Chains A and B, each alone.
Chain A
Amino acid sequence: MSAAAPSLTPRQIERRFLLGLGRAAGGAVVFSLPVLMTMEMWSLGAGMDRLRLLALVAALLPLLVALSHFIGFEETDGWLDDLRDGLVAFAVGFVVSAVILSLFGLIEPRMSFDEIMGAIVIETVPASIGAAVAQGQFGQPDEADHAHDRAAGYWGELVFMATGALFLSFSVAPTEEVDLIAAEMTPFHMLLLALVSIAALHLVVYMLRFSGQESADPEGAPGWSVFLRYTLAGYAVALIVCAGLMWAFGRFDDLGAVAAVRLLVVLGFPAAIGAAFARLIV
């Protein structure tokens, strides 16, 4: 049991948590609305291969814990605190998804358990990430300064980039439009899009370094090193996230290797943009 700080009464502690819970719910709604209002997502939850849905949830939980760790506002946070924060985010995401889906009339008692649970679980992915980000994003006034000073470190950067990539590509991954865009593009377009994705990512990484926020990096590290360790690693993380999503959603089934790579590059664009801006936002 942790001892309460002398300045806070138990009542204040509960109140502070309730406020945090409200923030988390708000974050969950903001992050999940684009996904909640996409038709492909509802049917996906019901029809998705159970093993892949299981893999998605199994990957989500460590990501939530890692997010809580790297955006947590206290340096003293032990693994138990991170685990607790991650589970709170999962609970908030799950409940928010269930409430909004019922509000839309998309889950009803006459539907099968499979269908209801599948829909909620799919929506829980962006919702709980939103909850985790909101939980850590706006710290209490006295802790806010501290929060922003804390360097997340290299692994933290990668977790943020993965989160951003997941957020922006999640709502796009199950749509037909990815196929259509990939079909419209010539190999030359593809190459250009991949290069633009990398350039956009590098631009943001570079801007952050300039504004002095890249505290994890020693001053005066050569440009190529930053390019390799942040930009290219970030693009790789974005592509891995995309590949995971595409596999989970069954988009790679019945596809040849070249067609799969084409889809990956198309989806990699929003993922790279998401990865870049995650670092600006979180």
Chain B
Amino acid sequence: MSEADDGPAPRPVARLEWAVAALGAALACGVLGVLAYEALTYEDGPPELVATVRDVRATAGGHVARFVMENRGPSAAAEVTVIARLKHGGAVVEERRVTLDYVARMSSREAGVVFERDPATAELELRAASYRRP
């Protein structure tokens, strides 16, 4: 009100405010840039589900085999069913099934299966059997 004649004075701007705004600008440009790059380079394809055993440990509840389910493909997979088989001389001696809720593309999830026998004495086979589009 007092400065009605010579126009209102601009609000003083803190230096820190410019710094945070610059951070915001950098983040916004970064996010937009990365998303644009990903959108442009995206190729459609099925999820590529690869299971790798991390370790096997004998516990009071049985032999726990921890594994990592990796999705190297360009699309996400939901309800991934994993079949784990212990084979001995060609014959399946134990079979376990696990369902993973969600494995994002280019991401991995960890899970485990519990066997009665020590997997070291047999051949352990792990693979994804099915998935659903999320």
Contact = CB atoms under 8 A, between A and B. Distances in A.
A76 B12 CA distance: 11
Contacts of B38: 50, 114
Contacts of B10: 2-3, 76
B24 A76 contact: no
Contact of A117 (B8, B34, B76): B34
Contacts of A83: 21
Contacts of B32: 54, 57-58
Contacts of A14: 14-16
Interface string B3-35: 000001111111111101111110110011011
A229 interface: no
Interface stretch (B91-99, B100-108, B118-126): B100-108
Contacts of B76: 43, 46-47
B46 interface: no
Contacts of A115: 104, 106-107
B28 A87 contact: yes
B24 A89 contact: yes
B36 interface: yes
A21 B8 CA distance: 25
Interface in A99-154: 110-115, 117-118, 121
25 contacts: A2-B12, A3-B9, A10-B15, A13-B14, A14-B14, A17-B16, A21-B16, A43-B76, A43-B104, A46-B105, A47-B76, A50-B39, A61-B28, A77-B11, A81-B13, A84-B18, A87-B21, A88-B24, A89-B24, A90-B28, A110-B108, A114-B104, A114-B105, A117-B31, A118-B104
Interface of B: 8-18, 20-25, 27-28, 31-32, 34-36, 38-39, 42, 75-76, 102, 104-108, 134
Interface of A: 2-5, 8, 10, 13-14, 16-18, 21, 43, 46-47, 49-51, 53-54, 57-58, 61, 74-77, 81, 83-92, 94, 110-115, 117-118, 121
Given A87-B28, A112-B105, A115-B106, 15 more contacts: A3-B9, A8-B12, A10-B15, A14-B15, A17-B14, A18-B14, A46-B76, A47-B102, A54-B32, A54-B35, A54-B36, A84-B21, A88-B17, A90-B28, A91-B27
